[in-house]
Structure 1
Amino acid sequence: MLLKMLTGLSGPLFSLAPGDEYDFDDAEAERLKAAEFAIDAEPKAPATTKRGKADVVSSNGDDAGNG
């Protein structure tokens, strides 16, 4: 179960800070939520991309190197 940490927590397999998200097994997740160390993580919105002009170099060169 994916949880969002409210407090820091470390163990042999992880070191988590407040705000970090980690996938715990169900029993451990319920224990951490009951102790108010973590809450259910909200699903992340899909990443968006910036739209705009592409970074393109003109195909019309100034021919400064030819001569």
Structure 2
Amino acid sequence: MKIKMTTGLSGPDYSLSPGDVRDFPAAEARRLIEAGYAVPDAAPRKEPAVEKPAAEKRG
């Protein structure tokens, strides 16, 4: 589960600052959210860019 940190947090495998987004196992993510260290990541998912073909001009 992706979460966005609201406070700094470091461990043996990571060092996170406020605003950092990281994927954690669901149970760990819920624990961090409930403790006030993070919020669920609500960043909009980006769709891949699709190029529209140019309009045909006749004249």
Q: Name the TM tier (shorter chain).
A: 0.7 to 0.9
Match of 1:65 in 2: none
**TM-score, L = length of structure 1:** 0.64
Identity between Structure 1 and Structure 2 (%): 48
Return the letter of the residue paired with 1:8: G
Match of 1:55 in 2: none
Aligned residues: 49
Identify unmatched segments of 5+ residues in structure 1.
50-67
Identify unmatched segments of 5+ residues in structure 2.
50-59
- Structure 1 stretches of at least 4 aligned residues deviating more than 4 Å after TM superposition: none
Could you say what the CA RMSD is over the residues aligned between the two structures, in angstroms? 1.8
